[in-house]
Structure 1
Amino acid sequence: MSPSPVQTKRRALLIVNTHARRGAEAVQQVEEALVGAGLAVERQACAKRDDLAGLIRSRAADIDCVVIGGGDGTLNAAAPALLDTGLPLGIIPLGTANDLARTLNIPVNPIEAVAIIGAGHEKKIDIGLANDHPFFNVASIGFGVDLTRALTRDAKSRWGALGYAVAGFKVLSRMRPFRARIIQGDSRIMSKTIHLAIGNGRHYGGGMTVSEDAAIDDGRLNVYSLEVRSVWKLLVLLPSMRRGTHGRWHEVKTLSGQEIVVQTRRPRSVNTDGEITTKTPARFKVLPGAVTIYTPAP
């Protein structure tokens, strides 16, 4: 009778954004829980967002997975390296909005999130590109960009998800519509809008929903344009935006596809997962099943 093969531990590279809302207090707890779940953990500090992808690439040959503790911006910074290396990602939601975790039903409790990583169930998800800048949740033009600029780190730390609402009301008071041409295949849509969103995932902005039928593994991008003329109309729309049913309103134009082009009269900034990364004209496309994530078993 031959001996049973020795099971080796999964080697995990652990990177925690200690600037995230709950990062500093959770890092030791997360490392100990991962070890308790049977993983061999290598913890690395990464002080700058722009260094994160390079750190993952430099350790790729010596690890089996990456575990990142942080918010959506930190996960977005890791996306280029995940695409390059094919390493599975474990998510510890420690940010303010945690929209990717929300989309994937990953709990915000760090120990419960570690248990999912320990169980090892893998799910392939899509990733979006905005002029080759990857995003998990949503890319936006207009209101989403101005909100990112208004939402300071101090506001997120002090108010949490409520900080989005506080900053949002400040931005709305000075919002002005802009014109955009949206191209999808042979279709051309002209829109006078305050906010244009191109969603890859389901949730964004602290719990808003891209579309009622959006999924992060459906191989398409969901687009909507808000053509409201007053702040009050937008406030009326907000409950529908949380549910994802705003596409039923005539003030909202929607479409979907694998590749979308957006043109504006002058270059406008594009926000991807809470970071301003590129400008219009912008070509958006989806990469189906491009990244592997540890998620709850179905």
Structure 2
Amino acid sequence: MSARSAVLAIINPLSGTTSVAQKTLLRDTFLRQADASGFAAEAVLTTHPGHATELAAAAVAQSYSRVLAIGGDGTINETAQALRRSGTALGIVPIGSGNGLARHLGIPLNPLKAVERALTGRPVVIDSAEINEHPFFCTAGLGFEAYVAHAFAQQPVRGLPTYVRTAFRAYWAYRPGLFLLNGREERRLFSMTFANAGQFGNNAWMAPTANIADGYLEQCEMRPFPAQMAGMLAWRLFNKTLNRSAYWQGQSIKTATVQTEGPMLIHADGEPITLPNGRAEVRILPGSLLVLL
């Protein structure tokens, strides 16, 4: 009898607002369904930042066929980092605040259905990207969105309501900055997004036409706008029409550099990062990840 294909579930016990009991149900459901589907299954809870990357890297080294990331965008990012350019496919079970990559890929937001999809789905090749060697799979950016990511990370409670309140307060405190693009042109921008997937999460579409498997990133720039336009731009953001605004500009790129005077705040898949030297280098890694769809 041939050996059973191995599958690992990596569960972040702190992700989102899902209770411990619900996460236990997810783990038990995964183990039961994986066994019934003929897999040799294992489930592990993360205990510290970077643990998901360590666990996923070990699974790749042991030739696991599938690794499920059960958590938010940060857990998915940590897990996917180790799976790039390997034969191990990523299964996404979204239980976070935004779930941007899952939404873009059409993965069920019901965690039990997402577990089933991850166990029965087929591997599909997508792109990934890096900003200063920090991997991202959905979006990375600077300006206002990075300012909000840093403020949101300080909040004691996660979830969409907290994010909305944080973004509202940040809007009134934030001032657009000057950014030198590719060493040639300096622009004052409200924000700049490098989009592999089309949205941040919660169906906030910064790059409505982004294709996650075309070998390009969408570089999306928002120029400063009058305060009275904020409501309309927010409406466009959630209705996939922001790219029709006169304040939005986008182009497809493979690489880019951005510089500021002093340290630069950025985010990679919503995780806040500070670049002390004020220089961000971005590049696409075409066809570098297998995702189960």
TM-score by length of 1: 0.88
Label 1:153 to 1:43 Cα distance change in 2 as closer, same or farther (>3 A): farther
Label 1:46 to 1:84 Cα distance change in 2 as closer, same or farther (>3 A): farther
Check the 8 A contact 2:53/2:79 in 1, yes or no: yes
Counting only pairs closer than 5 Å after superposition, residues 249-264 of structure 1 correspond to structure 2 as 249-264=245-260
Q: Name the aligned partner's letter for residue 115 of structure 1.
A: E
Counting only pairs closer than 5 Å after superposition, residues 44-83 of structure 1 correspond to structure 2 as 44-62=44-62, 63-83=64-84
Alignment pair present for 1:226 and 2:227: no
Check the 8 A contact 1:92/1:113 in 2, yes or no: yes
Alignment pair present for 1:287 and 2:285: yes
> 1:182 maps to what in 2?
181
CA distance in 1, matches of 2:138, 2:172: 26
Alpha-carbon offset, residue 92 of structure 1: 0.8
Q: Is the deviation greater in 73-82 or in 58-67?
A: 58-67
Q: Name the aligned partner's letter for residue 215 of structure 2.
A: G
Equivalent residue for 2:8, pick from 2, 13, 30 = 13
TM-score by length of 2: 0.89
Alignment pair present for 1:35 and 2:35: yes
Q: Name the aligned partner's letter for residue 15 of structure 2.
A: A
> 1:239 maps to what in 2?
235
> 2:192 maps to what in 1?
196
CA distance in 2, matches of 1:94, 1:212: 23
CA distance in 1, matches of 2:157, 2:167: 12
Q: Name the aligned partner's letter for residue 16 of structure 1.
A: I
Check the 8 A contact 2:149/2:270 in 1, yes or no: yes
CA distance in 1, matches of 2:128, 2:138: 8
Check the 8 A contact 2:90/2:290 in 1, yes or no: yes
Alpha-carbon offset, residue 276 of structure 1: 1.9
Check the 8 A contact 2:12/2:70 in 1, yes or no: yes
CA distance in 1, matches of 2:107, 2:31: 18
Alpha-carbon offset, residue 60 of structure 1: 2.6
CA distance in 2, matches of 1:8, 1:153: 46
Check the 8 A contact 2:85/2:289 in 1, yes or no: no
Q: Name the aligned partner's letter for residue 28 of structure 2.
A: Q
Check the 8 A contact 1:178/1:192 in 2, yes or no: yes
Counting only pairs closer than 5 Å after superposition, residues 99-114 of structure 1 correspond to structure 2 as 99-114=100-115
Q: What is the number of equivalent residue pairs in this alignment? A: 284
Q: Name the aligned partner's letter for residue 282 of structure 2.
A: F
Please, which runs of 5 or more residues in structure 1 have no aligned partner? 1-5
> 1:138 maps to what in 2?
139
CA distance in 1, matches of 2:83, 2:281: 21
CA distance in 1, matches of 2:166, 2:34: 36
Q: Name the aligned partner's letter for residue 283 of structure 1.
A: E
Equivalent residue for 1:268, pick from 261, 264, 267 = 264
The DSSP-based 3-state class of the residue aligned with 2:284 is: strand
Alpha-carbon offset, residue 109 of structure 1: 1.2
Q: CA RMSD in A?
A: 2.0
Equivalent residue for 1:207, pick from 186, 203, 206 = 203
Alpha-carbon offset, residue 153 of structure 1: 5.4
Alpha-carbon offset, residue 52 of structure 1: 2.0
Alpha-carbon offset, residue 233 of structure 1: 1.6
The DSSP-based 3-state class of the residue aligned with 2:174 is: coil
> 1:168 maps to what in 2?
167
